[in-house]
Structure 1
């Protein structure tokens, strides 16, 4: 093809057809430029296609993590709600309010349990550390993903406060009650499966209900877990928003 154009050029020059030669030269330049532009467009298209495939793979991996995170958050939130109900039931029976048929034993394991959230963030962490978060084209999604770790940090800070207070409540029960009696009535099937023998001490855990100190412990436990519940709900709202945005981008 190059030899063909070169022959035409030489023929025009040899015949002193300068005007036609100039037109031909301009046409040849235009063809070359068009060829370059087409090649660049094809190259850009291939790069865009490659980047889109890479982005889709990242989005799908993130979706796996955040689906798991959502299920863990839902489980934790339900546990916290159950714990709050147990605590409220206990303080409704303290002091002179105790009913004859009420037993605290089955509720002790709930009021002393603080669920800790362990999210699965491998793909997002790798994306952030490698500086590839920018490959996600949706700016809103990028912003929400960037907010995930700071939101988790506030949750974990509150978890540490709740766990520390939880430890004090456990120590109070160790000193003033019977864990053996409580575990025999636990709602946790794994604990019940241990088949504990009866305690060798004549301890009635209901006696703790007569203590204002115990009432204060349980009341503060309810407050701490309620605040923790609020942090969990903030995380789950962000998690759901991220999943919704991921679904939209994956379908593109």
Structure 2
């Protein structure tokens, strides 16, 4: 009886050990499978981030090109306004084409990572911090340009509209950023040109105009500097992510 009891106990213990081992193996397999799925998700997110960043580079280039064009228009306007003979048509040509452009942030993958909590799928802690820092600076850059557009540049446009600095009726098409035409069919106003030139021949008023135009150019210079810094961050961020992809 003692031998049978001992055999039963050993058998029972063996069964328990086998069950435990089976559970542990199942848990390990499940862990490996979960890790495999997470790694696949991580790689997909990183690839999508690279695509978003490439698209962002195009938007940054568009912003730089626009701001350079605006600064060039400002420089031409300043030269003419500082000349001996101010021609209203020339002023209209240069200044009415000085527009503003909103900077667009392209971050769908990053927003998904944040909202879903999947940012933690990125195992490389240093890379994760760099990604967070990159998009923080991107949002900061967009905010600076937005604030500049809504304050300084808007004031510039309001000043032009309030005082006879330019005549927006001198041509049929007047376009703003994005190539949007918001003009109506213009009419000829013979006396407008003389009114405009007489006003600009007033040195005190002309000095105010020069300051407003110059400040618009400085706004573009600031925007260009921010975008060029953003370009460097884009290159560095893309390299960091691609290096991480190459290591997997």
Q: Deviations over 1:48-94 (max 9, x none)?
A: 32211111121222233222221111101111111111111211222
Distance in structure 2 (CA, Å) of the matches to 1:118 and 1:187: 16
The TM-score normalised by the length of structure 2 is 0.73
Deviations 1:140-177 (A, max 9, x none): 33122111342134321343134311122212222212
Q: Deviations over 1:174-222 (max 9, x none)?
A: 2212112266587989567978444324333666765111110011111
Contact kept? 1:91, 1:218, Cα under 8 Å: yes
Superposition map of 1:156-175 within 5 A: 156-174=143-161, 175=163
Q: Is the 8 A contact 2:67 2:224 kept in 1?
A: yes
Does 114-123 or 153-162 show the bigger shift?
153-162
Match for 2:65 among 73, 78, 84?
A: 78
Question: Over the residues paired in the alignment, what is the CA RMSD in angstroms?
Answer: 4.0
2:178 and 2:22 mapped to 1: Cα distance?
A: 73
Note if contact 2:100-2:176 (Cα within 8 Å) is conserved in structure 1: no
Distance between the aligned counterparts of 1:163 and 1:145, measured in 2? 29
SS in 2 for 1:202: helix
Q: Determine the C-alpha separation between the residues in 1 that align with 2:128 and 2:215.
A: 38
Aligned to 1:144: 130
1:1-252 paired onto structure 2 within 5 Å:
42-97=29-84, 103-111=90-98, 113-155=99-141, 156-174=143-161, 175-176=163-164, 177-181=166-170, 184=173, 196-204=185-193, 210=201, 211-251=206-246, 252=248
Unpaired runs of 5+ residues, structure 1, are: 1-12, 15-29
Larger Rg: 1
CA 1:189–1:70 in 2, change beyond 3 Å: closer, same or farther? closer
How far off its partner does 1:34 sit? 8.8
Distance 1:46 1:191 in 2: 53
Q: Which runs of no fewer than 5 residues in structure 2 stay unpaired?
A: 5-16
Q: 1:34 to 1:117 in 2, by over 3 A?
A: same
Structure 2 CA distance, aligned partners of 1:71 and 1:170?
Answer: 27
In the alignment, which residue of structure 2 is the partner of 1:8?
none
